[in-house]
A = this chain, B = another copy of it.
């Protein structure tokens, strides 16, 4: 009953040791997904620990041994010294063709660095970016990237993020002419730091579907299909929206409890509340792909509970099925031929290393 790619089922390797509630929440989430028969799952981590949580064998679920764990506060550069970490071993499974995607709820920076080491970039892509898909106020999908892989960016990185986002819309969502916006503090081209102003100019010249700056509220309203920004601001935007929704729901719950009349009203309209919750529940978002890596790599929220982990696995299956990596590879085929000179940041290797 598992989804298949070519002749064998899709296989997702999961970092069982990463995340606030790891390994228990990860194992439980994998069990939920395996039971649903979505795909084959390889839990990567310390076998002794994992077996204590998962005593009996389960269909579509197996373990892969990794003796080390990369801490949440580890520097990305440390991954090179930890080839037997759950992140490095999981990515190696993808590199060797034993898995179709790798998913982690751990240290985003470490996953990015390890992905560059084990899978490398798609030729032509300077820096991969973490993308987050959400439903905007028009009821349509919007994609914001980067939401956490690059604390700092250059103007040309932002243009590439736009190209990767467009490739996703055109080739995966079959959306013609997706619009591109630049997250900024005002509508005018003179807003933002120098990097942002230069990106505005570059996008104006290079991107025919550029609709200009997108402010925080316009991001939610869906002014653009693809919105590009640095990984710091993008992360703040995504987590603030999560916090606000949590708070609005919480306040509504509290005020409903204050009066019997409100409780009666809330009971009558419980269906409306449920549909709202479904649209905004972050545990259902699952995980976000690292666009630009030469393989399917996804990162989920560190706070993920088992349901969110299962949802993250579903996202990974979707990314494999929709062939996002191939779509970006095709979009960058021209750029790859005139590959850029060495980047400024030597801590991120650009070439795929020999596998261990």
Q: How far is the CB of A153 from chain B (nearest CB, A)?
A: 10
Q: How far is the CB of A73 from chain B (nearest CB, A)?
A: 4
| Tally of contact residues, A, Cβ under 8 A | 66
A73 to B188, CA, bound (A): 5
Which residues 242-272 of A have a CB within 8 angstroms of B? 242-248, 250-252, 255-256, 258-259, 261-262, 264-272
A92 to B346, CA, bound (A): 51
- Beta-carbon contact of B248 and A219 below 8 Å: no
Which residues 165-187 of A have a CB within 8 angstroms of B? 183, 185-187
CB within 8 A of A232: which of B185, B189, B271, B276? B185
CB within 8 A of A236: which of B183, B187, B189, B231? B183
- Beta-carbon contact of A217 and B190 below 8 Å: no
Interface of A is mostly: helix
CB within 8 A of A268: which of B218, B221, B255, B261? B261
- Beta-carbon contact of A72 and B188 below 8 Å: yes
* Copies of the chain in the assembly: 2
CB within 8 A of A272: which of B189, B190, B229, B256? B256
Residues of B contacting A189 in the complex (Cβ-Cβ under 8 angstroms): 73
- Beta-carbon contact of A235 and B265 below 8 Å: no
- Beta-carbon contact of B269 and A240 below 8 Å: no
CB within 8 A of A75: which of B190, B196, B216, B243? B190
Interface residues of chain A, those whose CB is within 8 Å of chain B, are: 72-75, 137, 148, 151-152, 183, 185-193, 196, 215-221, 229, 231-233, 235-248, 250-252, 255-256, 258-259, 261-262, 264-272, 275-276, 279-280
What 4 new A-B contacts, CB under 8 Å, besides A220-B246, A233-B233? Answer: A148-B185, A151-B193, A217-B242, A255-B276
